[in-house]
Amino acid sequence: MGKPRLPLAEYVAGLPKAAVYGALFFTDTEDRPLQLRSSVKQGLWQFPGGDMDPGETPFGTAVRECREETGIVFTGRPRLLAVDFDAPGPWPVAKTGFVFDGGRLGRDALSRIVLDPGEHDAWEVRPMDDWARTMDSRSWRRLAAVNRARRTGTTVYLENVPDPAC
């Protein structure tokens, strides 16, 4: 005989907790990725995006956060490039991200970017080799995988789970 079923509230209370984020991946017309430098986490470069609010979807979150962080109003359809899972570590709960294709931005669109200084203090487009020299290894692996997913049309799944031996 199977385990007795818990009341719904009790079952839900026992589920693992997780945060969800949505982000958009843009390149310029030469396929150089756009990233924003965090004004909060020193030296961290990231895609426009952020944590999901109650009642939002991951894609809705990506579009809202992009608008808030850059002024870019994305009107395209959702095209998922990556699902990015981080196990609890420095952050107290698991975090799952959905990175969507934002397309290519021309010089004019890039020149209209307006950053929220409370979150980011710079934006740049660079060739992949330049990003590789600038970013921490986790962020670089995510950027390289997302860029590859865009080029190949194949969605990627990323997983960052701490080594229990460490």
pLDDT tens column, 47-59: 999 999 999 999 9
The domain locations on the chain are 17-159
- Provide the b/e sequence for 40-69 (b: ≥16 CB within 10 Å): eeeeebbbbbbebeeebebbebbbbbbeeb
Q: What is the pTM of this model?
A: 0.91
pLDDT at 1 (0 to 100)? 60
Residue the block writes with tokens 């209209």? 112
Q: Does the pLDDT of residue 165 top 80, yes or no? A: no
Do 50 and 65 touch, CB atoms closer than 8 A? yes
What average pLDDT does the chain have?
A: 93
17-159 folds as Nucleoside Triphosphate Pyrophosphohydrolase (3.90.79)
Model confidence pLDDT, tens digit, residues 126-146: 999 999 999 999 899 999 999
Do 12 and 55 touch, CB atoms closer than 8 A? no
Confidence band for 102, pLDDT divided at 50, 70 and 90? very high
